[in-house]
Amino acid sequence: MTFQLFLQQLINGLGLGSLYGLIAIGYTMVYGILRLINFAHGDVMMMSTYFAFFGVSIFALPWWVAALLAMILTGLLGISIDQGAYRPLRRASRISALITAIGVSFFLENAALVVFGSRPRAFYRPEMFRAIWHFGDISLLSLTGYTILITLCLLVIVYFIVYKTRMGMAMRAVSKDMHTVPLMGIDLNRVVAFTFGLGSVIAAVGGILWAMKYPQIEPLMGIIPGLKAFVAAVLGGIGNVFGAVLGGFILGITEILLVAFWPELSGYRDAFAFLLLILVLIFRPTGIMGEDLPE
């Protein structure tokens, strides 16, 4: 393999990893404050693609208007899932919340199958994401370049929210001492709702970019990216937003390089992610950037 080809694959891996990272941010933030693995998160991402799809195909909106609307709707969906399904269980055991999350995931998948049908739908890839960029011998789909840039920008925005705003301060406080936060006059529920909303909006960005990449959507498309984003979140250190994106990058790059070096292994691509998960859980359960894991 030439160096150019290696670099090319590296960038492709970074592009794929960005998508994992965008989905992983929501996983990791919700886990950070509620210690809940929101297994429905991948399906929330799937829903975002349908919102955008209908915006363009039925309402004939410009793609970016449809994308913005889809982000808002997905944020509201994330908040509704929390309020409807998880909030009544706040004081219940974590295992019941986890089982509920799996239930919500099945519900979304099956509702989507019934309402949208199982037939995959072609997803619109806007002009600006179709161009090919050339850097010397490397050629790059503009979508991949934009995906990486958007991910880095969102990471900066999330960093700003978490570390420089009042709501972010409350989120950090909740992550360490949930019961003391209400003593400060803060409505815990609003902090949790904000976290779900933010995580879902970012997942919508990931979902829409994912859909443009393939470019098609179907009701079960959230499962594999959702699981891999979960692996990315654990790999990076669950609870840590930088870790989530870093974990996504590592997972995306290794997956692409694995397939590039050993094409015969490409069938094991998904299995590889879970092997990685098992290895991380055995050797470093706190992940790369995680400090401590309560329980």
Q: What residue spans of the chain are helical by DSSP H?
A: 3-34, 41-57, 63-81, 94-116, 142-164, 166-176, 188-213, 223-236, 241-261, 269-283
Given the complex with another protein, which of 182 and 285 has the nearer CB atom? 182
Both tokens assigned to 9: 């694959």
The correct pick among 91, 263, 267, 294 for binding another protein (CB under 8 A) is: 91
The correct pick among 113, 130, 149, 187 for binding another protein (CB under 8 A) is: 187
Binding mask 96-115 for another protein (x = CB under 8 A): --------------------
Angstrom distance (rounded) from CA 189 to CA 206: 26
Closest approach of Cβ 173 to another protein, in Å? 5
The reply to whether 166 sits near another protein by the rule CB under 8 A is yes
The reply to whether 238 sits near another protein by the rule CB under 8 A is no
Given the complex with another protein, which of 98 and 167 has the nearer CB atom? 167
Find, among 95, 21, 90, the residue nearest to 252 by Cα.
21
Closest approach of Cβ 120 to another protein, in Å? 44
User: Which among 71-79, 132-140, 151-159, 183-191 is the span making contact with another protein, rule CB under 8 A?
Assistant: 183-191
The reply to whether 88 sits near another protein by the rule CB under 8 A is no
Contact 229, 23 (CB under 8 A): yes
Closest approach of Cβ 155 to another protein, in Å? 19
User: Which among 110-118, 152-160, 163-171, 197-205 is the span making contact with another protein, rule CB under 8 A?
Assistant: 163-171
Closest approach of Cβ 287 to another protein, in Å? 17
- CA 253 to each of CA 8, 229, 250: distance values in angstroms, whole numbers, following the listed order: 11, 13, 5
The reply to whether 164 sits near another protein by the rule CB under 8 A is no
Q: What residue spans of 40-131 are helical by DSSP H?
A: 41-57, 63-81, 94-116
Task: Show contacts of 167-171: CB within 8 Å, 24+ apart.
Answer: 167/191, 167/194, 171/29, 171/32, 171/33, 171/195
The reply to whether 183 sits near another protein by the rule CB under 8 A is yes
User: Which among 34-42, 63-71, 167-175, 206-214 is the span making contact with another protein, rule CB under 8 A?
Assistant: 167-175
Q: How many residues bind another protein (CB under 8 A)?
A: 19
The correct pick among 119, 179, 283, 295 for binding another protein (CB under 8 A) is: 179
The correct pick among 4, 110, 180, 266 for binding another protein (CB under 8 A) is: 180
Question: Would you tell me the crossing angle of helices 142-164 and 3-34 to the nearest 10 degrees?
Answer: 30
What Rg do the C-alpha atoms of the chain give, in angstroms? Answer: 19
The secondary structure element, H or E, covering residue 122 is: strand 121-122
Binding site for another protein (CB under 8 A): 91, 166, 169-170, 172-173, 175-177, 179-188
